[in-house]
Structure 1
């Protein structure tokens, strides 16, 4: 009975195995059939109908608008740059022409500096005033140029800001790129323009600095030249009058009163007369002397002394008059030397 059970199980196992093998064989035949079907498929799939391409056309149109907007922005920037360059060139040409005319006027003033021998002091001083006014006018012209160039750069900055703002809005409306990319693109362009504006401002500052330095150096050299000519003019104008005044002064210092010899003789006579009167006192001794004789002697002595005093007074008056006249003559001669 046990043997039957085993045999029965074996028979079942055998039948199951045969069924599994047959199913595997069928599966293999099916797989081979599928491989044959796949191998017969084409390498590329061809559509049987044409697409409309609306999306491609929209993208292409948007790209074209985007490129045209960028090209328009570049064109506006180029035109603005060209206009500003033309204006700056015009201002520089005007400054150059003005400086050339100023240099011609300064050359004329330099020539006048070399011929100051026959000029007056007022003319010499007024000559430097003219030179100083020319130099001052050049400085004013430089300041005007600085203001004009700064105004030009300020207007250029405002117009650049307007162009970038306008085209930024236009690119955002086109929507070919996201807003962040549009902002990045405009920001990069603005950075380049800011660098160019800073370079322009530095160039303007350097130009103004060099112009003012050259003008200051020229003024310094002109002032040295004028001082040299002024010293030469003074040496020529002063040496002659000083020598003439010295000669005149030496001639008037030795002046003597017109009646100097006569006054000396009168002085000697009066002095001798007084001595004689004084000598008479020896003979006046009592009892021969009388009060009347003494009174007459005293009156004679007093009269002689008064004559001597009057003579001295007249001499001093005449000497004072002579000195006053000499002083007036010296003042008049000094006025002539001015």
Structure 2
């Protein structure tokens, strides 16, 4: 701004000089005109020359003076042009130097801002948000407790197997096991929802920081809205997008792991219950066979006793 005012002041000085020179030239022309008139009258009074000769002489002198005046005016005009051209050239060179310095300053500022944002994105609070770590630790703790409870329930089946067993109790045990499995699966789904919510807060924080960087560019009064947007939109949003994609892939993998675990637990529980049912059926079949054998044995023993009694009576 000071540089522009300096050259504006210099241009104004050149214009004032030009006006002063023209004013002096017009003043001198008026004075020469008065002098010529004066000497015309003097020569006419002396009657040394005829009047036509006097006018001819004065016209000749006037032409010489006019040529000199025109030459002076051309010189003044050329001086004005030369001074203005020199000033404009200086202004152009100064503007180029100033623009070069501004561009270098803007490049340094953009580089510093990019570095600051890169450090922000690489910070632990963004890469591994404390709230996410807290949710993860809580999930592992609760998951361990639920799995321990499930393990204890699995061990309780030993009290329901033959010979001390009950189909109703075994069915109830299986229903409780399914309930525990579903509870664990529901907890995992709730955890995924909470973890996504925490990451959403992190993305909002990143976007807020992007807008803060853009505002910083505009506050420096050296960047236009388009320049600030051209830096923020492709680069900063890309950095946020890369991290977001990475996290989404990790969450997708974790979600699939939970889903796979739920399916595996479901079919393992079903297979285990089927195994116990088959064991009970086998036990019942074995018991039925043993009962039949007992009855057959008792029947034979009764027959043998009757034969023995008959033999004893015959001998008596």
TM-score, normalised by the number of residues in structure 1: 0.49
Q: Which residue of 1 aligns with 2:278?
A: 231
1:166 aligns with 2:212: yes
* Aligned twin of 2:262: 215
In 2, Cα distance between equivalents of 1:80 and 1:66: 23
Equivalent position of 2:32 in the other structure: none
Instruction: Name 2:201's counterpart in structure 1.
Output: 155
Q: Which residue of 1 aligns with 2:156?
A: 112
* Structure 1 residue 59 displacement after superposition: 9.0
Map of 1:89 onto structure 2: 133
* 1:117 aligned counterpart, secondary structure: coil
Deviation at 1:247, TM superposition (A): 7.4
TM, length-normalised to structure 2: 0.52
* CA distance in 2 between partners of 1:116 and 1:86 (Å): 52
Q: Which runs of 5+ in 1 are unaligned?
A: 1-53, 252-338
Q: How many residues align?
A: 200
Q: Which has the higher helix share?
A: 2
Contact 2:121 / 2:127 at 8 angstroms: preserved in 1? no
1:7-156 aligned within 5 A: 73-74=117-118, 76-78=120-122, 81-82=125-126, 85-114=129-158, 115-156=161-202
- 1:186 to partner: Cα distance: 0.9
Q: 1:199 and 1:213 mapped to 2: Cα distance?
A: 21
Aligned partners of 2:214 and 2:232 also within 8 Å: yes
8 Å Cα contact 1:116-1:124 kept in structure 2? no
- Post-superposition offset of 1:189: 1.1
Contiguous gaps of at least 5 residues in structure 2: 1-97, 299-316
Query: In the TM superposition, what whole-angstrom CA distance separates every residue of 1:292-322 from its partner, at most 9, and x where no partner exists?
Result: xxxxxxxxxxxxxxxxxxxxxxxxxxxxxxx
Contact 2:162 2:280 in 1 (8 A): yes
Indicate the RMSD between aligned Cα atoms, in angstroms.
Answer: 3.7
- Contact kept, 8 Å, 1:139 with 1:215, in 2: the verdict is yes
Q: Which whole-Å CA distance do the structure 2 matches of 1:61 and 1:211 have between them?
A: 52
Once the 2 structures are TM-superposed, how far is the Cα of residue 77 of structure 1 from its aligned partner?
4.2
In the aligned structure 1, how far is the partner of 2:174 from the partner of 2:230?
A: 61
Choose 219-228 or 229-238, whichever is displaced more.
229-238
Task: Quote how far apart the aligned CAs of 1:222 are.
Answer: 2.4
Larger Rg: 1
Structure 1 residues 171 and 116, CA, compared in 2 at 3 Å: closer, same or farther?
farther
| Distance in 2 of aligned mates of 1:94 and 1:142 | 12
In 2, the alpha carbon distance for the partners of 1:60 and 1:247 equals 105
Deviation at 1:98, TM superposition (A): 2.2
CA distance 1:93–1:169, change in 2 (3 Å) = same
Deviation of 1:193 after TM superposition, in Å, equals 0.8
Alpha-carbon contact 1:66-1:176 (below 8 Å) kept: no
SS at match of 1:107: helix
